[in-house]
């Protein structure tokens, strides 16, 4: 099992979002035929790099072509123009890549021009890369032409193959157009993500003088843990932008933002522990808001063989709470797992056993007999109680955990989201009270309860801290699971009190993870 888990750790590295993975596989430089999910684990050029390169080449060629056309108009006596309408100096390839878009290129160029462009680019590529022994359409003995993957032993054979199979014809032209469309979509997506990133960074880069109640109570800013990690490398104190537009490689390796966290986490372990099961501990737990993560990457998890960065318990709970009646049979839980996660469509014996094990082990899961037979429900109080009791209010612990939240890690976007959520919560007059030593001392009472109330706040769509966690569980007849009074006797009012007095981001995971399940889809 260990070996299998290790291999899964590698596979956990997601490829890409929004259907890019399939594209990446076409130009995969080293990820084999599994959708390019392996990325550049060994420092190879990633598929995105190759794609980017191809994109740049196409753009450059188009620019060259257009410029050539223009120069031809302006300088009819130019020798180069006379030689060929599409032959251009290679030095022009250094032009700014933003001068023309693939869309513009398609609009501007007629099919014959596109063919000419293709021919020109091919000639250029053959000429400059035959010497270097490399070609963006050739890698690992395969032709990387979209949809080809023909095996070529060497560059010469590849060149021959390229000339024979991908000669200038309608098909190649059409494929080129498709590739342009792909690039165009990627650019649109990149622009959107860049804009979002910019907004997030702008938000996070608020000056200390600006109102930011999120930081004040715990003095997080002074601890420096929230941002310091990356401020070393990024002098402005901004979190390292993992999905920066300047680093197109990142999305491929990263995939869903939270996955990135866990993947990175797993990778970090895999460096030292090449084999072994994926163990998801606090760094994962506190970094993975399950509701928002699933909401954002629902399709990704459905299709990608990526292990979700959540515990079985949290997944089971989410499945149950997501159901209309907030109760599921074991089989329905199974179905939810397989429906939501491609990862759970295999190794069924393993994870199903784990599901059953978790259902039985955790008191938060209550077996109930109803008309459907045996169903499982969630006892929210128990669920909150079972959370790690390590948060004792120690500034060091708090700092470390918040530091572990990853403002320096790849899931910075989620930290921003968490911060936003915290801010909106804290900005609610009904919830915010001035922090006090007493309130801080109450941290140990139940940081999870904070999230519990947060969840209720969100689930109601309004800031109503009076809803008790118990209300998450349906009033059903419990056949088994006698209550342990000494453990269940924690007064709800105390929980609410903690929440009120602790605008604490200590459990942002819960804050997000416990978002109303309605947000899931």
Q: CB of residue 266 vs DNA: minimum separation in angstroms?
A: 9
Report the chain's terminal Cα–Cα distance, integer Å. Answer: 33
Is-contact 478 378, C-beta < 8 A? no
Is-contact 240 416, C-beta < 8 A? no
Q: CB of residue 354 vs DNA: minimum separation in angstroms?
A: 4
Nearer to DNA, 240 or 265 (CB): 265
DSSP E strands, 164-305: none
Q: CB of residue 374 vs DNA: minimum separation in angstroms?
A: 3
Nearer to DNA, 213 or 276 (CB): 276
Q: CB of residue 451 vs DNA: minimum separation in angstroms?
A: 13
Q: CB of residue 116 vs DNA: minimum separation in angstroms?
A: 55
Nearer to DNA, 273 or 490 (CB): 273
Question: What would the two tokens of residue 393 be?
Answer: 């209010």
Nearer to DNA, 36 or 406 (CB): 406
Q: CB of residue 92 vs DNA: minimum separation in angstroms?
A: 50
Strands 373-378 and 365-370: antiparallel
How far apart CA 216 and CA 422 sit, in angstroms, is 12
Nearer to DNA, 171 or 372 (CB): 372
Q: Report CA-CA distances (Å) from 450 to 341, 460, 493, 502.
A: 29, 16, 12, 8
Please report, as ranges, the residues that interact with DNA according to CB under 7 A: 1-2, 4-5, 265, 269, 273, 276-283, 285, 310-313, 329-331, 334, 347, 350-351, 353-354, 356-362, 367, 374, 376, 386-390, 397, 400-401, 404, 480
Nearer to DNA, 224 or 277 (CB): 277
Q: Report CA-CA distances (Å) from 267 to 273, 356, 366, 435.
A: 9, 28, 35, 38
Q: CB of residue 259 vs DNA: minimum separation in angstroms?
A: 15
How far apart CA 212 and CA 244 sit, in angstroms, is 25
Q: CB of residue 281 vs DNA: minimum separation in angstroms?
A: 3
Q: Is 122 helix (H, G, I), strand (E, B) or coil?
A: helix
Q: CB of residue 357 vs DNA: minimum separation in angstroms?
A: 4
How far apart CA 103 and CA 369 sit, in angstroms, is 60
How far apart CA 59 and CA 65 sit, in angstroms, is 10
Nearer to DNA, 122 or 288 (CB): 288
Length of the chain: 521
Nearer to DNA, 312 or 414 (CB): 312
Q: Is the dihedral of CA 214, 220, 226, 230 positive or negative?
A: positive
Q: Angle at CA 33, nearest 5°, toward 339 and 162? A: 140
Nearer to DNA, 161 or 285 (CB): 285
Is-contact 402 458, C-beta < 8 A? no
Q: Is 60 helix (H, G, I), strand (E, B) or coil?
A: helix
């Amino acid at each position: 099992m260990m070996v299998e888990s290790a291999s899964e750790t590698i596979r956990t590295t997601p490829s890409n979002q929004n259907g890019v993975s399939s594209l990446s596989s076409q130009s995969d430089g080293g990820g084999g035929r599994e959708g390019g999910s392996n990325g550049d684990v060994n420092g190879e050029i990633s598929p995105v790099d190759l794609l980017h390169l191809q994109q740049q080449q196409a753009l450059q060629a188009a620019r060259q072509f257009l410029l050539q056309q223009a120069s031809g108009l302006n300088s009819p006596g130019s020798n180069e123009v006379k030689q060929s309408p599409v032959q251009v100096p290679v030095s022009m390839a250094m032009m700014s890549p933003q001068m023309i878009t693939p869309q513009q290129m398609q609009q501007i160029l007629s099919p014959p021009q596109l063919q000419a462009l293709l021919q020109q680019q091919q000639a250029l590529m053959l000429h400059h890369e035959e010497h270097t022994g490399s070609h963006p359409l050739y890698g690992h003995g395969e032709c990387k032409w979209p949809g080809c993957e023909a095996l070529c032993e060497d560059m010469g054979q590849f060149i021959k193959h390229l000339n024979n199979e991908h000669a200038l014809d309608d098909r190649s032209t059409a494929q080129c157009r498709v590739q342009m469309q792909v690039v165009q979509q990627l650019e649109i997506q990149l622009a959107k993500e860049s804009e979002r990133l910019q907004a997030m960074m702008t938000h996070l880069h608020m000056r200390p003088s600006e109102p930011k109640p999120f930081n004040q109570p715990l003095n997080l800013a002074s601890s420096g843990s929230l941002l310091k990690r990356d401020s070393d490398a990024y002098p402005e104190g901004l979190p390292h932008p993992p999905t920066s537009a300047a680093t197109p490689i990142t999305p491929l390796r990263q995939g869903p933002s939270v996955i990135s966290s866990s993947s990175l986490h797993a990778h970090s372990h895999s460096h030292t522990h090449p084999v072994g099961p994926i163990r998801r501990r606090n760094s994962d737990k506190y970094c993975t808001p399950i509701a928002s993560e699933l909401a954002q990457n629902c399709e990704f998890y459905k299709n990608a063989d990526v292990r979700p960065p959540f515990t079985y318990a949290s997944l089971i709970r989410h499945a149950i709470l997501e159901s209309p009646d907030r109760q599921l049979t074991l089989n329905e839980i199974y179905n939810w797992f397989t429906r939501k996660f491609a990862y759970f469509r295999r190794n069924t014996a393993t994870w199903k056993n784990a599901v059953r094990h978790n259902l039985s082990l955790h008191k938060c899961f209550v077996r109930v007999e109803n008309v459907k037979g045996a169903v499982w429900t969630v006892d929210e109080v128990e669920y909150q109680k079972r959370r790690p009791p390590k948060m004792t209010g120690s500034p060091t612990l708090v700092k470390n955990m918040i530091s572990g939240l990853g403002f320096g890690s790849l899931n910075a976007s989620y930290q921003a989201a968490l911060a936003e959520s915290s801010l909106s919560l804290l900005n609610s007059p009904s919830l915010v009270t001035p922090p006090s030593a007493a309130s801080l001392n109450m941290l140990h009472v139940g940081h999870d309860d904070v999230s519990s109330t947060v969840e209720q706040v969100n689930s109601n769509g309004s800031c109503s801290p009076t809803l008790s966690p118990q209300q998450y569980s349906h009033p059903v007849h419990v056949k088994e699971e006698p209550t342990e009074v000494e453990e269940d006797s924690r007064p709800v009012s105390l929980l609410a009190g903690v929440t009120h007095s602790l605008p604490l981001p200590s459990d942002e995971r819960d804050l997000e993870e416990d978002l109303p399940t309605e947000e899931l889809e």
